[in-house]
Structure 1
Amino acid sequence: MFTGIITAVGSIREVRQQGDLRIVIACPYDPAGIAIGASIACSGVCLTVVERGGEAGDAWFAVDVSGETVSRTAQDQWTAGRKLNLEQALKLGDELGGHIVTGHVDAVGRVVSREDTGGSIQFWIMTPMELAPYVAPKGSITVDGVSLTVNEVADEADGTCRFMLNIIPHTAEVTTLGGLKAGDAVNLEIDVLARYLQRMQALRG
């Protein structure tokens, strides 16, 4: 489990095709604190560490990414040089600063527009039809692994919806969100509580 509070931005150092993709990610963690078999969320995708090395502040770890994962995540995410939002798994007693995040991508959304307003950035993001019922104003959503609050929602005639986010300067600086532009694909995970509420409502209906 994760919180959606990013602890580092890493970059893909190497991509090797060996059945699945073996991805080597450079990061500023201490490798002594990265266990083989541990889970790390990489831009919202929960992956298992299979190798690690380097030194504190200049570490690396490797993960295997299946074809299924590639097909369900943002296009071009698994390419050399790509920056990724990183979060190590939540430990008992850690502060839950964001919301409960599983690291399972529900769908890929797309940035419709970006507007710089003061020091902040306002994004509108389009979601597929299947996610629309789970997106609500003032609710939580995870975008590329970052826990965020939905400000506004606009439903479309075709069943899809757009939602608006306001990214403060700190979040833009310590995550990859500050580099997003219109047309970019992003990994979306809905709030797990919204998922269960929608299921219960459907059964009652």
Structure 2
Amino acid sequence: MFTGIVTAIGTITSIEERGDRRVTVACEFDPATIDIGASIACSGVCLTVVELAGSAGDARIGFDVSAETVSRTAPAMWEQAAKLNLEAALRLGDELGGHLVTGHVDAVGHVAQRREEGGSTRLRLRAGPEIAPYVAEKGSITVNGVSLTVNTVTDETDGTVLFDLNIIPHTAEVTTLGALAEGDAVNLEIDVLARYLQRMQSLRG
């Protein structure tokens, strides 16, 4: 489990096709504090550490990314030099600063609009009908691994949903969200509580 609070931005330094895709990410983590087999969320995707190298502040972490994972996530995140939001798995006793996040991407959305508002950035995202019922005003959603609060929701006649997010300057600086542009694809994970509530409601129906 994760909280959606990003602790580092990593950069993909190498990609090897080995059946699965071996991706190496450079970041400021200390490899001495990470175990082989540990889970790290990479822009909202829970991946298993399979290689470790480097030193404190200059770690290089290897992950195997399956074709299934690539097909269900934002394609640009698996390119050379791509920037990834990183978060190590939650430990018992850690502060839950965001909301409970599983690291399983429910859908890929797109940035429909970006505008500056006050000192912050206002993003309007578009997502498909498969997650529209789970997006609620003032509810939580994870975008590229970042826990955010939904400001407004607009349901479209084609079943898609538009929702607005406010990105404060700190979040824009310490995550990759500050670099998002209109048309960019993003990984979305709905609130785990919303998923179970929807399931319960469907069974009652």
TM-score normalised to structure 1 length: 0.99
The residue number in structure 2 matching 1:162 is: 162
Report the AA paired with residue 77 of structure 1. M
The residue number in structure 2 matching 1:109 is: 109
Does 2:132 align with 1:132? Answer: yes
The residue number in structure 2 matching 1:76 is: 76
Q: How far does residue 76 in structure 1 lie from its aligned partner after superposition?
A: 1.8
String of CA shifts for 1:29-68, please: whole Å, max 9, x gaps: 0010111000000000000000011011111100000000
Report the AA paired with residue 80 of structure 1. Q
Q: How far does residue 202 in structure 1 lie from its aligned partner after superposition?
A: 1.1
Q: Which runs of 4+ in 1 moved over 4 A?
A: none
Aligned pairs for 1:139-158 (under 5 A) are 139-158=139-158
DSSP-derived class of the 1:177 partner: helix
Structure 2 gaps of 5+ residues are none
The residue number in structure 1 matching 2:4 is: 4
RMSD: 0.5
The residue number in structure 2 matching 1:193 is: 193
Q: Distance in 1 between matches of 2:17 and 2:115?
A: 38
Structure 1 gaps of 5+ residues are none
Q: Distance in 1 between matches of 2:202 and 2:144?
A: 28
Q: How far does residue 199 in structure 1 lie from its aligned partner after superposition?
A: 0.8
DSSP-derived class of the 2:131 partner: helix
The residue number in structure 1 matching 2:182 is: 182
DSSP-derived class of the 1:13 partner: strand
Q: Distance in 2 between matches of 1:34 and 1:13?
A: 19
DSSP-derived class of the 1:150 partner: strand
Q: Distance in 1 between matches of 2:203 and 2:35?
A: 41
Identity rate, percent: 69
TM-score normalised to structure 2 length: 0.99
The residue number in structure 2 matching 1:44 is: 44
DSSP-derived class of the 2:99 partner: coil
Q: How far does residue 193 in structure 1 lie from its aligned partner after superposition?
A: 0.1
Q: Distance in 2 between matches of 1:127 and 1:202?
A: 21
Q: How far does residue 190 in structure 1 lie from its aligned partner after superposition?
A: 0.2
Q: Distance in 2 between matches of 1:128 and 1:60?
A: 35
